[in-house]
Structure 1
Amino acid sequence: MKAMILCGGSGKKIWPFNDKNQKSCLPVGGVPNVERIVRQLKRAEFEEITLITGYQEKQVKYLLRQYPGLHFLSATDANMNEVIAGQMSEDDGTLLYYGDIYLEDADLNHLLEVYQERGTSVLLERQVGNFDATNYICAAANEMVQAYYGHPRPHYVNARSGGVFALEGQMTEYIRNAPGRFLNMPVGGMSPDGFYLEQCLQTALEDGIEIAAVYVSEVFTDIDLPWDIMEANHLYCQHIVGSMREDKLAKGSEISSMAVIKGKISLGENSRIGDRVIIEGNCQIGNDTVIENGAIIGKNVVIGNNCLVQHYCKISDHTVIGNNNKIGYLAEVTGVTFDRVAAVHNCELYGVIGTNVDIAANCQTGIVKFNDAESWQKAGDKRYHSRFSNGVFIGDYTRTGICNVFLPGIKIGSNCALGPGFIADHDVASNSVIIVKQEIERREWGASKYGW
């Protein structure tokens, strides 16, 4: 069976992180998601893996340069169907895997088992429950799929596409003849032009072809919006790091007798946990990382390679710290940081912080201080909400200013510089400099006026 990973979309809804990244390359547990998928497919013994690239294809190839034998094909949305159809296996079937999907091995293996048992096309579906069905292409399905709908009402659908499809050879022509938009919608519904695999499957259903459905477990994220990065990493910490049952100490690693560790530790080569460090639960730590001098680490945390975490900072539960980070004096971090982030002075962060971001002293996110309620936020031209949508989302290569305050859900673009004292109550476009103008009012003061 062939496997194809679709990782060519521009990911506009995940701004600001699509400025510099193919969204399939965004990190989950400190590893680019597309690399995580390749590893997963190799564990499932797929020998032929093709990546369909487009936007930021050089990044995809660079991140996967250490995996020999992969095939890369470039496609646009206009010819995506032809490229996919040209690579499908007529005899052994084809697995199509969206590159922005995070799920565990058990769900993929279950999908493949059902495909082998039934000999029919199998889709991985997620049951409707915690999202607004009108924002997605959904399905009516039990063990078999009855239909796909765009902009559906919740009362006649019960599942959302899970982004992984095991397809028989007969599906090739349906994909080759894709209509270029989604068709099965209520009156007044509008579909952007483009390739929709679900429409190809809907056409097959209308022709009487049976398609089985397999439901994913709770460990699943479609990384489509900025806060989905937080959700995927939270799930990784909760289920992967949280399931660690023994310590793993690599060559050259060291743990001080004055450190307090309440969980299981995976400690990379030449990494050190120093004096007065408190680790409150399981923790996965990379190579050449130093954690010292009173740092407080929460439960089920990931800290990458070559990091320095010190001086009574606090890393909260289910947080992922990327590679080459410096987290220092009294900084508090919750969420996800990408590579090469510096937060070395008193600050409080909740959200997703992009690559090469400098967090200045006394920066604060609103949810930490005064508003932790779920909030509706805009992505593209639509509004969404989730348990993580009230974080702050700072794009790559941005510098914050001293005493910046970020209200819940604010997005700061890439390549920005924020001046001191800026209160971010609206999104900031990429490639912006924000300078706060100071208004001064002078009044008389002194002992002659206020003394005795």
Structure 2
Amino acid sequence: MQAVVLVGGEGTRLRPLTLETPKPMIPVMNMPFLERTLRRLKEAGIEDVILPAGYLPEAITSHFGDGSSLGLRVRYVIEETPLGTAGALKNVADFITGPFFVLNGDVLTSLDLRAMLAAHREKGGLGTLHLIRVDDPSAFGCVVHDPDGRISAFVEKPERDKAPTNEVNAGTYLLEREVLDAIPAGRPVSIERETFPQLIAAGRPLYGYTTDDYWIDLGKPEAYLGAHRNVFDGVMPLGLTPDIDGPGRESVPTTAIRPPVFIGNGCAVDSSAVIGPYTVLGDGCSVGAGAVVADSLLWDRVTVDAGARVDAAIVASRARIGAGARIAHGSVIGHDAVIEPGTHVEENARIVAVD
């Protein structure tokens, strides 16, 4: 069994975080999200992985190499221009030898891949699509199927009161290799909007596999923050220790902790600071006297000076929050940005470092 993880997107909705870091490499509890995905594949018995990469590929290739450090065989196909979901698959066709999983590189889910494989083998279709029920399907692609799971239609972003179902495409597929024959080469192709509907129209059997697993698209800052809260609360299981976790948890003064928190290696936190709740400190972070970091994600080597406050924000690596500064709810601070002392950054601001 092989897997293709689609990692070519530019992550425009997450900017400025993705100006330097490709979206699949944004950290989730201080580990690149793509690494968590690859480890999950390994746990499911899938050891041959193809990564069609396009945006900042060197950040991915340099981190994972040939995959041997994770017990995997990882190969890369670099896209010169974006090819879409199906186009990316066609572009790696020479590496595919049989049935294969396809995973979107920005979806965090607790889906049991072994169980999905068993369901696929039982149905015997050309492909199996993971589906999730949502309250409001209007922002997604609805998937209509019969009681046996055979898919009959795809309805893209219907009006809420006109949606034929609340089951939506959750971005994990298990496909037979012959699906690749239905994808034209040399141009961008969407598997959701073009390939799957064409297969259905031709009478080829695709099946839905509906579960109640955790699932979220990390592509927006609010979703990225929310996913960490879900992990802290145990809604998305990552095996964390309750209240306080991380390799640096014993180095931070207990007086500063308001659990749950995750503390990276080599952090320096003043005993009068407040860290948490729902806060992640990346490796090498520094938090000064009287500073408060709550409901926030700090990447590696972020400095928060004395008396500063960071609320429900994301701060990328090597940024500095000056003394007495205030970072309001929903703000995203880019790599190497410097917030001058006493500055008040408004809600939902996007701050990019200035050369």
SS at match of 1:160: strand
Shift, 1:399, TM fit: 0.5
Distance 2:66 2:92 in 1: 24
For residue 183 of structure 2, give the secondary structure of its aligned residue in structure 1.
Answer: helix
Query: Where do 1:47-126 residues align within 5 Å?
Result: 47-65=47-65, 67-68=67-68, 69-75=73-79, 76-78=81-83, 80-89=88-97, 92-104=98-110, 106-120=111-125, 121-126=127-132
**Which structure would you say has the larger Rg?**
1
Aligned partners of 1:141 and 1:159 also within 8 Å: no
> 1:309 is matched by which residue type in structure 2?
V
Q: Helix, strand or coil for the counterpart of 2:233?
A: helix
Look up the equivalent residue of 1:163 and give its one-letter code: G
Match of 1:364 in 2: 326
How far apart in 2 are the matches of 1:293 and 1:231?
A: 25
Q: Please, which runs of 5 or more residues in structure 1 have no aligned partner?
A: 181-193, 245-263, 266-280, 368-390, 417-430, 432-452
Instruction: Identify the residue that residue 233 of structure 2 maps to in structure 1.
Output: 238
Q: Does 1:351 align with 2:351?
A: no
Q: TM-score, normalised by structure 1?
A: 0.69
Report Cα offsets for 1:183-229 as digits up to 9, x if no partner: xxxxxxxxxxx431212111111111222222343522212122222
| Letter matched to residue 168 of structure 2 | R
Return closer, same or farther for 1:240/1:158 CA change in 2, 3 Å cut-off: closer
Deviation at 1:235, TM superposition (A): 2.0
Give the whole-Å Cα distance in 2 for the aligned partners of 1:86 and 1:175. Answer: 13
Cα 1:113/1:213, change in 2 over 3 Å: same
Matched with 1:408 is 347
SS at match of 1:302: strand
| Helix, strand or coil at the partner of 1:233 | helix
Correspondence 1:317-396 to 2 at 5 A: 317-333=277-293, 334-349=295-310, 350-367=312-329, 391-396=330-335
Alpha-carbon distance between aligned partners in 2 of 1:173 and 1:125, rounded to the nearest angstrom: 24
- Cα offset for 1:312? 2.2
Tell me the residue number matched to 1:175. Answer: 183
User: Does residue 303 of structure 1 match 2:266?
Assistant: no
> Shift in Å at residue 45 of structure 1?
1.1
1:215 aligns with 2:215: no
The aligned residue for residue 222 of structure 2 is 227
Deviates more, 1:52-61 or 1:324-333: 324-333
Q: What is the Cα deviation at residue 141 of structure 1? A: 4.2
Matches of 1:58 and 1:93, distance apart in 2: 28
Report the CA distance shift for 1:46/1:81 in structure 2 as closer, same or farther (over 3 A).
closer
Tell me the distance in 2 between the aligned counterparts of 1:242 and 1:158: 24
- What letter is aligned with 1:343? V
Per-residue CA deviations over 1:284-319 (Å, capped at 9, x if unaligned) read: 1215962127212312x2111221223222222332
Matched, 1:203 2:198: yes
Letter in 1 for 2:218: I
| Contact 1:285 1:303 survives alignment (8 Å) | yes
Call closer, same or farther: CA 1:51–1:322 in 2, change over 3 Å. Answer: same
Gaps of 5+ in 2: none
**What is aligned with 2:143?**
139
Q: 1:359-395: per-residue Cα shift (whole Å, max 9, x none)? A: 111222444xxxxxxxxxxxxxxxxxxxxxxx11111
Matches within 5 A, 1:4-15: 4-15=4-15
Aligned partner of 1:43: which letter?
E
Deviates more, 1:154-163 or 1:345-354: 154-163
Report sequence identity in percent: 20
Q: Secondary structure at the match of 1:317?
A: coil
Q: Contact 2:91–2:185 (CA<8 Å) still a contact in 1?
A: no
Q: Alpha carbons of 1:363 and 1:214: their partners in 2 closer, same or farther (altered >3 Å)?
A: farther
Asked whether the equivalents of residues 249 and 264 of structure 2 are also in contact (C-alpha less than 8 Å), the reply is no
Contact 2:29 2:280 survives alignment (8 Å)? yes
Question: Separation in 1 of the partners of 2:150 and 2:325?
Answer: 51
Give CA-to-partner distance per residue, 1:86-110, whole Å, 9 cap, x none: 3333xx3111111111112x43333
1:241 and 1:282 in contact (8 A); partners too? no
TM-score (norm 2): 0.87
Distance 2:236 2:268 in 1: 20
Larger relative CO (CA 8 A, sep 6+): 1 or 2? 2
Secondary structure of the corresponding residue to residue 294 of structure 1: helix
- 1:400 CA drift (Å): 0.4
Computed over aligned residues only, the root mean square deviation of the Cα atoms, in angstroms, reads: 2.5
1:128 maps to which of 127, 134, 137:
134
- The question of whether the paired residues in 2 share the 8 Å contact of 1:329 and 1:345 is answered with yes
Amino acid at match of 1:393: V
Seen in structure 2, the aligned counterparts of structure 1 residues 296 and 81 have a Cα distance that, compared at 3 Å, is closer
The residue type equivalent to 1:357 in the other structure is A
Cα deviation code 1:221-252 (max 9, x no counterpart) = 212122222122222222279886xxxxxxxx
1:145–1:306: structure 2 CA closer, same or farther, 3 Å change rule?
Answer: farther
Higher helix share: 2
